Chain A
Amino acid sequence: MSAFLPLLPALAGFACLALAMDRHQPAVAGRVLGPRATSAFRWAGWTALVLAYVAAVDASGWVSGSVGWFGHAAVAATAVVLLLTWRPRAVLFLVLGAPAWACVRPARSSNNHRS
C-alpha cells in the first residue's frame, strides 16, 4: 500500500520548483516573490526530490525504487503542470506533500515492525 508514498515528496518538490520560477509565482502565490524566497523554494524543491528518491528506495528497494523515482517524478511534474494550468492556487497545497510524507512514514514503518 505504501508504494505510492514517494509521490507526496515528489509533488512537493515540483510544486516548490514551480514556485521558484518568477513566471509562475503570480499565479500560485499572488505576487512575484523576493530573491530569498525564490532561492529557498529552489532548495526546498531539490531537497524534496532527493527525499522522494529516499522514499522510493525505502518503499520498494534499490531497483524498483530507482526506476520508480522517474515514474513518480513524471507523474508529479505532470500533475503540477495540469494544476498550474487549471487551478494554480492549488499548487500551494502540494508543498505540504513533503511534511505529510514525513508524518505518514514512521506510522508505516512501525506497522511493518508489528506485522
Chain B
Amino acid sequence: MKGSFRQSMAWLHTWSGLLVGWVLFAVFLTGTAAYFRPEISRWMQPEAGQPAPVLQSAPAAVGFLQRKVPDAFHWDIFLPGDREAVTRVFWTPRAESGGPGRRDRRLHRATLDAASGEAVEARATRGGEFLYRFHFDLYYMPVRWGRWIVGFCAMLMLVAIISGIVTHKKFFADFFTLRLKKGQRSWLDAHAVTAVLSLPFHLMITYTGLVALMFLYMPWGVEARYASDRAFFQEVFSPGRYAERTGVAAPLADLAPMIRKASEIWGGGMPGHIAVRHPGDEGATIRMEPSGAGRLAPEGHALVFRGATGELLTEEGAPPAVQTHSAMIGLHSGRFASPWLRWLYFLSGVGGTVMVATGLLMWIVKRRQKLPDPDRPHFGFRLVEKLNIGTIAGLPIGLAAYFLANRLLPVGMPGRAGWEIHAFFIAWGAVFAWALLRPARRGWIEALAAGAAAYALVPLANAATTAHGLLPSLLAADWLFVGFDLVMLATAAGLAGAAMCMARHRPKVRASRRLAAAAPDARTLA
C-alpha cells in the first residue's frame, strides 16, 4: 500500500513537473534576475547618474513638477532609494481628474535624475522592470492571461514540491550526496540536492507568489462584498483621505520636515512613494508611503500631511490582514533585504532554476535508457528533448540578447524599448528553431556554446559603447557595473563548461547506449 502511494506520488511529480516545467523555468530564471531589478535598470541606463538621498530627491522632484505642472490634480512621485538613480513622476491634469488611473499615468510621466530633479535624457528601455513583469505577466498577451498561466503553473509547482517530498525515498540519507558520472543517478542527485537544500525557499516562493495574486485567482470574497475590484483596492490599500480643493492658492510647505517626521514614525524608514493631491491649493494633501527597503511589510503605514502647513493629518493603520499580505509579498520579493541577504535570495533562486532544469532533463535521461530504438525516439520524447534545449539553453540566450540589444541598438531608434524585448524573444525563438533542426546532442552543445559566446560579448559590447567597461568601472570602484560584468562572465564560463562537458562525454554515452541496446532487461531493472 505504501509502495503504491509513493508510486502514484512519483507519477504525479513526474507529470505535473513536466507539464509546467518550461514555464516554471522561465519564471524562476527571470524572477531570480528580478531580485536585481533596480541594478539591472541602472546598468541598462548608463546615462543616468547616481542614487541620491530621499531628502534630496523628493524636493528635487517636487521642484520639477512645480515647474512643469503646477496646477495638476494629482502628482505621484516614486523615489529611488539607494538602489536606483532615477525618480519616476506621474501626474494627472485637473481636466482629467477622474482619478489617477493607469492610462493617465502612461500619458503624463517623466524620469528624473535623482539628485537634480532634471528630466533624464537616457536611452529608452524597460530595464529590469521587463524581467520582473515577465515573471508573472509573460508577454505578447493580455496581462490577465499571463497571470492565469503563471498561477496555474505555480499551483502545479506546489503539487510537484509536495509530491516530490513524498517520492524522495532517502531525504536525509542522501542529504549531502552528489554522485558524479553515474548517468541518471547523477541527474537525480543534482535534482534532489538543489530541491532539498533550498526546500524552505522553494515552498515559500511558490506559496507567496500565489498569495501575491490571490485577488485575481480567488476573487469571490471581494466580488461578494464590493461593487468592483477598484473599490476594494481603494478601500484596503489606499484609503487616502484627501481634503477637498478650496480654490485658495497656497504654496506647498517644505518637504524636508515632513520626511523627517515620517522617518521618525517609521523607525528610520524613508518614503518610497509620495502622492500630492491639489498641489498649490490651500487644501493640498501629501500622502507618504514607506519604501520597502529594510521593511518586510511596508503596505498600510501611509501618513497624510496638510500640504500648505506640513501638519500631520492622518496616520493610517494597517489591518492585520493587509500586514500579512504585505509581509508575504515582502518575503517573496526580498525588497526589504540588505545587499548580502539579496545575494542569498539570488543564489536560492539560481538553485530553484537549476532544480527545474535538472527535473526536466531527468525526464529525458530516465526514458532514453528504455527507448526501444535509441536512434529513432518516439514523438513525445523528441518533443520534450527539443523543448528542453529551446528553453534551458534558449532562455538564457534570450536574456543575453536583451542586454546586448540594450547596448547595440541605436539610442534614438523609435520603439527602442520594445525592440530590446523583441530581441529577447527573437533570440530565444532562434534557439528553438535551431534545436528543431539539429540532432539533440549537437543541438545542446551548439546552443550552450552560443550562450557562452553571447554572455562573453555583453561585457565587450558594454566596454565598446559606454564609459562603464570593466576596467574603468574597477578603477572608479563602481561595483554595480563591475558586478554586472562579472556575473555575465561567470555565466559565460558556466555555459562554456556545460558545453565542454557535454562534448567530452559524447562517446561514453554512445557506449552505454549500445550496452542498453544489447542488454535491455538489465537496464530496465536497474
Footprint of B on A, CB under 8 Å?
3-4, 14, 17-18, 21, 23-24, 60, 63-64, 67-68, 70-75, 77-78, 80-82, 84-85
* A58 to B122 Cα, complex, angstroms: 42
Assuming the contacts A63-B296, A64-B336, A64-B338, asked whether A84 and B344 have C-beta atoms less than 8 A apart, the reply is no
Rank and list the top 7 A-B pairs by shortest CB-CB distance, nearest first. Answer: A71-B344, A3-B340, A74-B198, A77-B197, A85-B178, A70-B200, A18-B176
Q: Mark B161-190, 1 if CB is under 8 A from A, else 0.
A: 000000000000101111010000000000
* A111 to B204 Cα, complex, angstroms: 36
Do the beta carbons of A63 and B341 come within 8 Å of each other? no
Do the beta carbons of A60 and B176 come within 8 Å of each other? no
Do the beta carbons of B173 and A81 come within 8 Å of each other? no
Q: Which residues of A contact B339 (CB under 8 A)?
A: 3
| Residue on B nearest A14 in the bound complex, by CB | B176
Do the beta carbons of A3 and B338 come within 8 Å of each other? yes
Do the beta carbons of A60 and B201 come within 8 Å of each other? no
Supply 6 A–B pairs (Cβ within 8 Å), ascending by A. A3-B341, A21-B175, A74-B344, A74-B348, A77-B197, A84-B178
Do the beta carbons of A68 and B344 come within 8 Å of each other? yes
* A14 to B331 Cα, complex, angstroms: 25
Q: Which residues of A contact B176 (CB under 8 A)?
A: 14, 17-18, 21, 24, 77, 80-81, 84
For the complex, is B193 an interface residue (Cβ under 8 Å from A)? yes
For the complex, is B433 an interface residue (Cβ under 8 Å from A)? no
Q: What distance in Å separates the Cβ of A103 from its nearest Cβ neighbour in chain B?
A: 20
How big is the B interface, by class? 20 to 34
| Residue on B nearest A83 in the bound complex, by CB | B176
A64-B337, A74-B197, A78-B197 given. 13 additional CB < 8 A pairs? A14-B176, A17-B175, A21-B173, A23-B173, A64-B336, A67-B331, A68-B340, A74-B347, A74-B351, A77-B175, A77-B197, A80-B176, A81-B178
* A74 to B336 Cα, complex, angstroms: 20
Do the beta carbons of A78 and B177 come within 8 Å of each other? no
Q: Which residues of B contact A24 (CB under 8 A)?
A: 176
Do the beta carbons of B201 and A71 come within 8 Å of each other? yes
Footprint of A on B, CB under 8 Å?
173, 175-178, 180, 193, 197-198, 200-201, 204, 296, 331, 336-341, 344-345, 347-348, 351
Assuming the contacts A23-B173, A64-B338, A78-B197, asked whether A71 and B296 have C-beta atoms less than 8 A apart, the reply is no
| Candidates A23, A63, A75, A80; contact of B344 at CB < 8 Å | A75
| Residue on A nearest B174 in the bound complex, by CB | A23
| Residue on A nearest B337 in the bound complex, by CB | A64
Do the beta carbons of B340 and A4 come within 8 Å of each other? yes
Q: Which residues of A contact B197 (CB under 8 A)?
A: 73-74, 77-78, 81
* A85 to B182 Cα, complex, angstroms: 13
Q: What distance in Å separates the Cβ of A7 from its nearest Cβ neighbour in chain B?
A: 9
Q: Which residues of A contact B345 (CB under 8 A)?
A: 71
| Residue on B nearest A24 in the bound complex, by CB | B176
* A70 to B198 Cα, complex, angstroms: 8
Do the beta carbons of A71 and B338 come within 8 Å of each other? no
| Residue on B nearest A68 in the bound complex, by CB | B341
* A4 to B336 Cα, complex, angstroms: 17
Q: What distance in Å separates the Cβ of B339 from its nearest Cβ neighbour in chain A?
A: 8
Q: Which residues of B contact A71 (CB under 8 A)?
A: 201, 341, 344-345, 347-348
| Residue on A nearest B327 in the bound complex, by CB | A63
Do the beta carbons of A23 and B341 come within 8 Å of each other? no
Assuming the contacts A23-B173, A71-B344, asked whether A63 and B178 have C-beta atoms less than 8 A apart, the reply is no
Q: What distance in Å separates the Cβ of A89 from its nearest Cβ neighbour in chain B?
A: 15
Q: What distance in Å separates the Cβ of A64 from its nearest Cβ neighbour in chain B?
A: 6
| Candidates B296, B336, B347; contact of A75 at CB < 8 Å | B347
Q: Which residues of B contact A85 (CB under 8 A)?
A: 178, 180
Q: What distance in Å separates the Cβ of A33 from its nearest Cβ neighbour in chain B?
A: 16
Q: Which residues of B contact A68 (CB under 8 A)?
A: 340-341, 344
Q: Which residues of A contact B338 (CB under 8 A)?
A: 3, 60, 64
| Residue on B nearest A72 in the bound complex, by CB | B344
Q: Which residues of A contact B331 (CB under 8 A)?
A: 67
Q: Which residues of B contact A70 (CB under 8 A)?
A: 200-201, 204, 348
Q: What distance in Å separates the Cβ of A24 from its nearest Cβ neighbour in chain B?
A: 6
Q: Which residues of A contact B296 (CB under 8 A)?
A: 63
| Residue on B nearest A56 in the bound complex, by CB | B341
| Residue on B nearest A4 in the bound complex, by CB | B340
| Residue on A nearest B331 in the bound complex, by CB | A67
Most chain A C-beta atoms within 10 Å of own C-beta, residue among B177, B178, B331, B340: B340
Q: Which residues of A contact B341 (CB under 8 A)?
A: 3, 60, 64, 67-68, 71
* A85 to B180 Cα, complex, angstroms: 8
Q: What distance in Å separates the Cβ of A87 from its nearest Cβ neighbour in chain B?
A: 13
* A55 to B48 Cα, complex, angstroms: 38
Most chain B C-beta atoms within 10 Å of own C-beta, residue among A60, A75, A78: A78
